[in-house]
Amino acid sequence: MTDGIVLRGLRRMRSLLAEVRTPRSLDARQVARLRGLLQESASGQGGEASARQRAVRLAEIYLRLDDEGRAGFLRIIASEFGPDPQKVAQAHADYQAALGSDAQWGAESRLRNAIRSSRMRILTQFNTLPEGVKFLVDLRADLLRYIDADAILKALDRELEQQLAAWFDVGFLELQRISWSSPAALLEKLIRYEAVHEIRSWNDLKNRLDSDRRCYAFFHPRMPMEPLIFVEVALIDHLADNVQKLLDEHAPVFDVERANTAIFYSISNTQVGLRGVSFGNFLLKRVVDDLKRDYPRLISFATLSPLPSLRSWAEKTPEAWEKAFGPSDFERIRRHLPPDLPPPSKAEDLIGLLGDAAWAADERLARALEHGLTRLAARYLMTATRGGRPYDPVTRFHLGNGARIERLNYLADTSARGYQQSYGMMVNYLYDPEMIEANVEAFSRGGEIAASAPIRRTARD
């Protein structure tokens, strides 16, 4: 009978996860009921069946709440189920008194238990439910949205992040190739989660999964239809320099037996709730190994990557324009400028000229801007920092994983997003299997940036 009640509760939870319901806030009666359920969960009252029933009821309450109600739900857990300060103080005093004696190790264990809060005992009960892990990942995504407005939630976030990092250790993850024959529900999620280059249609997706393309994703056994991170790969015979050409649905399919280069052109993290849990570096290493095994002719592994923060950085850094654009650049631009536009003479003029993408449609003007914009991007990659690390988040990721900055590509992304992020500029990061470990060590130890000679030369000019 009890098992049947639990199973019905699990089915209710599944339907709540799938349906959109009218959200509501917590009223006084619900707060009292919630506290009772949380206290029972914290104390471990009852057996396994009782714990599951409580987890289902708590999930039902949470999923029906609006943002205000969910923030209140999490605040109760964060503020009322932390460690007991008096027990921690007493356990610490006992530990200090026992140092150097045989009783030290028992005192250490008691101190560790005193510091451990009931918050995780409550939340980890959801792990026993079929959708429980996904529920907790989504719950943390909510938590991250609320945390700036309520500092008391930070302790709960730190504990939950640590727990998720343990559950999503790369040793537990499964690498799978996604193809056109994968379940439709999974393919729909690729479309929804793609974060770099929007998948515009099913034909677009089919093109990205054709015989000259590969898509790989990490999955957790408890979330078998939810890719955690995925990478899209093109198998070609050159270092790609234009993403529109790479994604052209009408381009002929390349003969993969002739491919010598694998281009990673999109890497998308899918679960906001796993922020701070890193497995992107392991994904690329695993994919490189798989590709080398399947295609021994491959000798180059590189990306065609965006520079998502270049334009925002440049518009806040006028002095960077003065260093990148010399007198000859300004003169070349003035010669090719349409007569209805005022000639630029300083950084602010250039920023205004590049305010929309109209300049790129003028072939002569675009050519006149190429030298200065390429130098601006090279200096951005080599010198712009935030907190002692490269300013650009994609650069931080790839340098931290052992790549080197290989080449800048002018007008490589002519989409609206490409102009908005980086004036259409893209960059190739090269993964040389023989240099990856040395590059990782040099970057992590001294912040040394691995870059090709042309990139270094352009940044110095």
Give the largest Cα separation in the chain, rounded.
Answer: 88
Beta-strand pair 213-219/229-236: antiparallel
First-to-last alpha carbon distance for the chain, in angstroms, is 78
3-class secondary-structure state, position 217: strand
Helices 48-63 and 67-80, packing angle to 10 deg: 140
User: Among residues 197, 220, 398, 422, which one is catalytic?
Assistant: 398
Distance, in Å, from the CA atom of 384 to the CA atom of 323, rounded to the nearest integer, reads 13
Distance, in Å, from the CA atom of 324 to the CA atom of 344, rounded to the nearest integer, reads 14
Distance, in Å, from the CA atom of 354 to the CA atom of 158, rounded to the nearest integer, reads 42
Element (H, E) at 380: helix 363-383
Strands (E), 16-152: none
User: Among residues 300, 305, 309, 422, which one is catalytic?
Assistant: 305
DSSP state of 127: G
> Which amino acid, 326?
G
Q: Which two tokens stand for residue 441?
A: 């060590």
Active site residue 305: yes
* Cβ count within 10 A of residue 113: 11
> Which amino acid, 213?
R
CA angle 405, 271, 266 (to 5 degrees): 30
Distance, in Å, from the CA atom of 76 to the CA atom of 65, rounded to the nearest integer, reads 14
Active site residue 101: no
* Residue showing tokens 């399919």: 253
* Residue showing tokens 């009218």: 22
Q: Which residues belong to the active site? A: 305, 398
